[in-house]
Amino acid sequence: MTTTVARRGDLQAAIDDLPLIDHHVHGVFSGDLDRSTFEAAITEAFDPPPEGTSVFDSQVGFAIRRHCAPLLGLPEHVPAEEYLVRRLELGSAEVNRRLLTASGVAHLLVETGHRGAEITSPVEMAAISGQRVDEVVRLEPVAEHLAAEGVSAEGFADAFAERLAAVTADAVGLKSVVAYRHGLDFDAAPPTRAEVVAAAGPWLAAGPSSQGWRVQHPVLLRQLIWSGLELGLPLQFHVGYGDPDIYLHRCNPLLMTDFLRATRSRGVPVMLLHCYPFQREAGYLAQIFPHVYLDVGEAVHYTGARGPAVLAEALELAPFGKLLFSSDGWGPAELHFLGTVLWRRGLSRVLEGFVASREWSADDALRVATLIGCDNARRVYRLDDRRIP
**Domain presence at residue 357:** yes
Q: What backbone torsions phi and psi does residue 34 show, to the nearest 5 degrees?
A: -80, 175
Which among 198, 260, 254 has a CA at the least distance from the CA of 223?
198
- Indicate which CATH number applies to the domain containing 118: 3.20.20.140
Q: Tell whether the model's pLDDT for residue 282 goes beyond 70.
A: yes
Which among 46, 12, 30, 60 has a CA at the least distance from the CA of 335?
60
How many Å apart are CA 239 and CA 333, to the nearest integer?
23
pTM (predicted TM-score): 0.95
Q: Tell whether the model's pLDDT for residue 8 goes beyond 60.
A: no
CA angle 14, 18, 19 (to 5 degrees): 160
By residue range, what is the domain housing residue 43? 33-90
In a shared domain, residues 378 and 242: yes
Q: What percent of the chain is predicted at pLDDT more than 70?
A: 97
Q: Is 163 exposed, middle or buried (0-12, 13-18, 19+ CB in 10 A)?
A: middle
**Among 66, 90, 114, residue at a domain's last position:** 90
pLDDT for residue 385:
83
In 52-105, which ranges are continuous DSSP H helix? 59-63, 80-90, 92-101
Instruction: Please enumerate in sequence order all residues whose Cβ is within 8 A of that of 316, keeping only pairs 6 or more positions apart, or say none.
Output: 280, 283
Classify 340 in phi/psi space as left (phi over 0), alpha (psi -120 to 50) or beta. Answer: alpha
Which among 373, 376, 348, 350 has a CA at the least distance from the CA of 6?
348
**Domain presence at residue 95:** no
DSSP string, 261-304: HHHGGG---EEEEE-TT-HHHHHHHHHH-TTEEE--TTHHHHHG
In a shared domain, residues 53 and 177: no
SS3 342: helix
Which among 299, 308, 303 has a CA at the least distance from the CA of 272?
299
How many Å apart are CA 276 and CA 253, to the nearest integer?
10
In a shared domain, residues 67 and 213: no
Which amino acid makes up residue 17?
Answer: D
The residues that bridge with 108 in the sheet, in sequence order, are: 22, 133
How many Cα atoms are found within 13 Å in the side-chain-facing hemisphere of 88?
10
**Among 90, 120, 138, residue at a domain's last position:** 90
Mean pLDDT, residues 148-175: 98
**Domain presence at residue 161:** yes
In a shared domain, residues 219 and 332: yes
Q: Tell whether the model's pLDDT for residue 296 goes beyond 60.
A: yes
366 or 7, greater pLDDT: 366
How many Å apart are CA 30 and CA 118, to the nearest integer?
8
**Domain presence at residue 97:** no
**Domain presence at residue 98:** no
In a shared domain, residues 56 and 183: no
In a shared domain, residues 210 and 233: yes
The 10s digit of each residue's pLDDT in 111-140 is 998 888 899 999 999 999 999 999 999 999
In a shared domain, residues 346 and 206: yes
In a shared domain, residues 260 and 198: yes
**Domain presence at residue 7:** yes
The 10s digit of each residue's pLDDT in 197-250 is 999 999 999 999 888 999 999 999 999 999 999 999 999 999 999 999 999 999
Instruction: Give the chain's domain count.
Output: 2
**Domain presence at residue 99:** no
Could you tell me the pLDDT band of residue 2, with boundaries at 50, 70 and 90? very low
* Average confidence score pLDDT of the chain: 95
Mean pLDDT, residues 78-94: 98
